Amino acid sequence: MPSIDYDTAAELTEQLEERLVTSLGGDTSVSRRTVLGGLGVAGSAALGIGGTRASASPGHGTGDESGNFGAVGEYQDADFDPHEFLTTFNTGRSGQESVPQRVYEEEGRTVREFELTAVDTTITIAPGVEFSAWAFNGQVPGPTIRAVEGDLVRVKFTNLSKNAHTIHPHLQNLNPRMDGIPTNGPGELDTGESFTYEWIAQPAGTHFYHCHSLPLKEHIHRGLYGTIIVDPDPERVRENPRDYVNYPGPIDEQLRKRLVEKAKSRNHEYAENDAVNEMVMVMNSFDTDFDGANEVYAANTRAFAYGVGETDGEGNWKAGETKRPIQVDKNELQRVYLVNATEFDPINSFHSHSQFFDYYDHGTTLTPTRQTVDTIMQCQAQRGIIELDYSDHQPGLYMIHAHQSEFAELGWMSFFEVV
């Protein structure tokens, strides 16, 4: 039988999820204050809610249908699994089947080529709750692109949306034509148009890409964003260690060696990272009634996807269950590439229960920018790397969530299951 910890965690997840979904299904104009303040926990009898739809109000773009709110149940969107997305990196050699990609050499440089397509689609943000999105390759967040420092990232972009779009990279891009903004290069791509962006993967770190068409708040909020991870090149680190530290003192051979080893542990082409469990978490949110305030928050789009569902308490989850904690091996370092894509709120945050971590802001250094903390904040487009060590912890459930408490209660609440 599951332990009381698992029972209690599952009950908490279910209560929060039911309260959120019921509020959205019952009244599409509901505010998050209503969800947090007046509803209480929905019982099972309240879950047979009928489907309703909300439309974007004037001034929010197209006036498309923006939601399809149905009864609580399993996530029905088989095209996107937040658990699979969590640990899937598109490197050109491997990744998602929905992302055409390849790796080859060109003029002495490694080229990682990807095909991204903007489409209008419907995504699932909570059980039975759908959101009308604009998405790269039909998913939110967009595919995670991973390269090595100095590679050429070549993105063949096609716009099949009925709105004009671009792709803007948060990289050190030296060619203004490739900046992905309306005034440069090809500008905005209309329906059916294509363009190939080329960016040098620099600097090493965790980076962001998104559509830069106007109004920005709508194009980002609707889902046109994703992560670019640039792994450090250990040989570059060996030759230029000063570029990878936020440390003004001398760099001796011992420190240089440590930096090179750290670079290898972050580079997906080295065996050293086998002892590290790597994850991508994109903190995002959804304004379901288009009033300029979010009703749903999540890590990787689906509210409470990393909460606790049905389990035997020994790490075995119900077959097909999409709601489960992130299982981690206590003997592995846990590395989270964290990105904030939240619109309409100035900051989002990450808080770990019962554990402190090192944080590398933007991931551009190999030494922490903050050490031994349990909460960090990020503004929109800010990103970084979190490293957690659970080797001394007892097996069980350890919560993670936004430490804006309302964000946690509206979907951005999860668990690590240490085994």
Residue 76 falls within a domain, yes or no?
no
DSSP reduced 3-state for 116: strand
* Mean pLDDT of all residues belonging to the chain: 86
Residue 247 falls within a domain, yes or no?
no
Residue 324 falls within a domain, yes or no?
no
Residue 286 confidence (pLDDT) above 50: yes
Strand spans (E) along 289-382: 296-299, 326-328, 333-340, 347-352, 357-361, 370-373, 375-379
**Range with the poorest average pLDDT among 128-132, 158-162, 270-274:** 270-274
Residue 316 falls within a domain, yes or no?
no
- Per residue in 200-244, pLDDT (tens digit) is 999 999 999 999 999 999 999 999 999 999 999 999 999 999 999
Q: What is the CATH number of the domain that holds 165?
A: 2.60.40.420
Indicate left, alpha or beta for 340 from its phi (over 0: left) and psi (-120 to 50: alpha).
Answer: beta
Domain, as residue range, for 228? 82-236
- Both structure tokens of 105: 């050499």
**Range with the poorest average pLDDT among 30-34, 83-87, 91-95:** 30-34
DSSP-assigned states of every residue in 175-212: -GGGS-STTSTT-SBPTT-EEEEEEE--SSEEEEEE--
- Both structure tokens of 356: 């402190």
* Integer angstrom CA distances of residue 8 from 42, 328, 395, 405, 407: 17, 20, 16, 19, 20
Q: 347-352 and 129-136 as β-strands: parallel, antiparallel, unpaired?
A: unpaired
Residue 15 falls within a domain, yes or no?
no
Residue 25 falls within a domain, yes or no?
no
Whole-angstrom distance, CA of residue 128 vs CA of residue 125? 8
- Per residue in 45-60, pLDDT (tens digit) is 222 222 223 333 323 3
Residue 145 falls within a domain, yes or no?
yes
Reported for 4-11, long-range contacts at CB under 8 A and 24+ positions apart, including other chains, are 5/313, 5/396, 5/397, 6/308, 6/311, 6/313, 6/397, 9/307, 9/308, 9/325, 9/397, 9/415, 10/307, 10/308, 10/309, 10/310, 10/311
Whole-angstrom distance, CA of residue 262 vs CA of residue 15? 42
> For the chain, what percent of residues have pLDDT higher than 90?
74
Question: Tokens 């440089």 identify what position?
Answer: 109
Count of the separate structural domains present in the chain: 1
Q: What are phi and psi of 298, to 5 degrees?
A: -160, 165
> For the chain, what percent of residues have pLDDT higher than 70?
83
Residue 132 falls within a domain, yes or no?
yes
Whole-angstrom distance, CA of residue 215 vs CA of residue 210? 13
Whole-angstrom distance, CA of residue 213 vs CA of residue 218? 9
DSSP reduced 3-state for 255: helix
- Per residue in 86-126, pLDDT (tens digit) is 999 999 999 999 999 999 999 999 999 999 999 999 999 98
Provide the whole-model pTM.
0.88
Position 24 confidence tier, pLDDT thresholds 50, 70, 90: confident
- Both structure tokens of 232: 């450090």
Strand spans (E) along 255-301: 276-286, 296-299
C-alpha torsion 262→268→271→274, nearest 10 = 90
